[in-house]
Amino acid sequence: MSIFVDENTKVIVQGITGGQGRFHGLRNRDYGTKIVGGVTPGKGGTDVDGIPVFNSVKEAVAATGATASFVSVPPKFAAAAILEAAEGGITFIVCITEGIPAHDEAITYNRLVEEYPGVRLLGPNCPGIISPGKCNIGITSGDIALPGGPVGIVSRSGTLTYQALHELSQQGIGQTTCVGIGGDPVPGTNFIDCLAAFEADPETKAVMMIGEIGGSEEERAAEWIKANMTKPVVSYIAGVTAPPGKKMGHAGAIISGSKGTAQAKMDALREAGVFVCANPTEAGQKMVEIVRAM
């Protein structure tokens, strides 16, 4: 099984007529994802390579029965697009947009929780989600993922998500689902959400968790793992050599004072029984070992 999406998930692309929305939306469709429509205000009635375009999410949902949306719009419009998706009846929103102001994210997150409690937001500033062979929403290159499980992947970083997929696929180890939660300060979906879903998914036998400096999500995940997780977890944390006080690319990746260091995160995870590795390759090898021994 997969988490959050599967082969039947119907997806619309908000911003499908933009360069990135078009490129990745079509790639997702080529992968086999049920991309059933697109939304661009003012362009309703047209199509993008056969995918019908609607003026609003509401129209798109009514016409297609979509339950998921891939939001690929500029930062200025992203918060409104996410809320429009929730308002329009979408229950799983993947937002890849990078550069949304933190205050917009905080308001959007809390409005979703308060007004649309059944809606899950993945991202913003994330690579999306892929259930190999079933569904790919976002910017992950489908050919680096391998269907069939048994590993679930959750990661704060986009490119390190690809790296993790690549390390496993090359060794013939498949994935159930790979979730990129994104590197922003207010992610819609966090490590614990994904760990809990993987723990509950019978086909996922082990989980790879990739974190990075900043915030305390990894420490919280460690506590959760210690209390609830029965499946093995392998982890890699990026940013051991990152200097304090500098935002390492992601808005959320900053060591402030003694908080948010890679070392503290690795210690917390190790203490929770997680296999903590020094680099993505080592993490891949450790996971291969664990899966082969099953």
Partner 1 sequence: MDLFEYQGKQYFSRYGIAVSPGDVADTVEEAVAVAERIGYPVVVKAQVKVGGRGKAGGVKLADNIDEVRLHAGNILGLDIKGHIVRRIWIERSSDISKEYYASFTLDRPNKTHLGMLSAQGGVEIEVVAEENPDAIAFLSIDPVRGLDIETSRRWVAEANLDEVAREQAAQILVKLYECYTQGDCDLAEINPLILTPDNKVHALDAKVTLDENASYRHPEWEEYRATETEDPREKMAKEKGLNYIGLDGDVGIIANGAGLAMSTLDVVNQVGGSAANFLDIGGGANADVMASALEVINADPKVKVIFVNIFGGITRVDDVANGVLEALKRVKIDSPIVLRLDGTNAVEGRSILAPHLSNKLIMEPTMLDAARSAVAFTK
> What sign results for the dihedral spanned by CA atoms 8, 33, 123, 19?
negative
Token digits of residue 173: 């180890």
Residues in the chain: 294
- For position 18 contacting partner 1 by CB under 8 A, the verdict is no
Total chain residues near partner 1 (CB under 8 A): 62
Q: Per-residue x/- mask for partner 1, residues 59 to 98, rule CB under 8 A?
A: ----------------xx-------------------x-x
Among residues 133 and 249, whose Cβ is nearest to partner 1? Answer: 249
Which residue among 62, 80, 106, 200 contacts partner 1 (CB under 8 A)? 106
Stretch of 42-50, 55-63, 209-217, 264-272 lying at the interface with partner 1 (CB under 8 A): 209-217
- For position 212 contacting partner 1 by CB under 8 A, the verdict is yes
- For position 160 contacting partner 1 by CB under 8 A, the verdict is yes
Token digits of residue 38: 């697109």
For residues 63-88, b (16+ Cβ closer than 10 Å) or e, as one string? ebebbbbbbbbeeebbbebbbbbbeb
Token digits of residue 28: 């997702």
Catalytic residue at 250?
A: yes
- For position 279 contacting partner 1 by CB under 8 A, the verdict is yes
Which residue among 64, 215, 261, 272 contacts partner 1 (CB under 8 A)? 215
Tell me the Cα Rg of the chain: 18
Among residues 46 and 141, whose Cβ is nearest to partner 1? Answer: 141
> What sign results for the dihedral spanned by CA atoms 14, 19, 23, 24?
negative
Which one, of 120, 147, 141, lies nearest residue 28 by Cα? Answer: 141
Token digits of residue 145: 């993922």
Cis peptide before 150 (omega within 30 of 0): yes
Q: Per-residue x/- mask for partner 1, residues 248 to 277, rule CB under 8 A?
A: xxxxxx---x--------------------
Which residue among 144, 222, 234, 266 contacts partner 1 (CB under 8 A)? 144
Q: What kind and span of H or E run contains 95?
A: strand 92-95
Task: Give the contacts of 266 (CB within 8 A, at least 6 positions apart).
Answer: 235, 237, 240, 276
- For position 157 contacting partner 1 by CB under 8 A, the verdict is yes
Which residue among 220, 226, 231, 271 contacts partner 1 (CB under 8 A)? 220
Q: Which residues bind partner 1 (CB under 8 A)?
A: 20, 24, 75-76, 96, 98-104, 106-107, 109-111, 114, 127, 139-141, 144, 155-163, 166, 183, 185-186, 210, 212-213, 215-217, 220, 236, 238-243, 246, 248-253, 257, 278-281
Catalytically active residues are 250
